Amino acid sequence: MAVAKRGRKPSGKPRAARASASLQPELYQTLQAIAKQKKVSVAWVIRDAAEKYIAAQWPLLETK
């Protein structure tokens, strides 16, 4: 009898890399407030900030 694998079906897109960071409580609270105001996740706010930071620091590397 074959056992089905658990998990998601391949979507053809490369998987996102995961990162972990420790933040000061005040910074995290600010991120939560921004996320709530924009009605998005804290992860979305962090990704958006990282993209903007990289675009500002290294404009020649922008991939969009």
In this predicted model, what pLDDT tens digit does every residue of 7-24 receive, in sequence order? 666 677 888 899 999 999
pTM of this structure:
0.71
> Which tokens is 23 given?
């933040």
Give me the residue label for tokens 């000061």. Answer: 24
Q: What is the pLDDT of residue 8?
A: 67
Residues 6+ apart with CB under 8 A from 46: 31
Q: What is the pLDDT of residue 26?
A: 99
User: What number is the average pLDDT over the span 27-52?
Assistant: 98
Q: Residue 30: is its pLDDT beyond 90?
A: yes
Q: Where are the domains of the chain?
A: 25-61
Q: How many helices, marked H, and strands, marked E, lie in the chain?
A: 2, 0
The average confidence (pLDDT) of the chain is 87
> Which tokens is 59 given?
């404009």
Q: Which residue has the higher pLDDT, 34 or 16?
A: 34
